[in-house]
Amino acid sequence: MPDLQDLKQRIPLLDYLRQRHWTARPAASRREFVGLCPFHRDSRPSFYVNPRKNLFYCHGCGRGGDLIRFVELSEHLSFRQSLVSTISSGSSLPPAWPA
């Protein structure tokens, strides 16, 4: 069984979000992307994703974290369940995912 921390870092958060139809645009003068927050009623984009750090943060509701945290928040699953769920969606994973 591969290390969980290692696994989640191999899944690009931004790709994961886009596969779930999160639309984002590059944030002004930052190496981040910004879009509407999926966790609260967001009238203007306040949900930031940093592809280099593989982290997200919402300036509206204060939620933030990594891929696993995102899955937990969005699907209300436990850490391990969410990772299994992510992995078992295998075919939709980005090409960087090791075969």
The residues of the shown chain that bind Zn ion, judged by CB under 5 A, are 37, 39-40, 58, 60-61
Nearer to Zn ion, 7 or 55 (CB): 55
Nearer to Zn ion, 14 or 37 (CB): 37
Nearer to Zn ion, 75 or 84 (CB): 75
CB of 41 to Zn ion, least distance (A): 9
Q: Which two tokens stand for residue 51?
A: 């592809």
Strand order in the sheet with 64-65: 25-26, 33-35, 47-50, 55-58, 64-65
β 64-65/25-26 pair status: unpaired
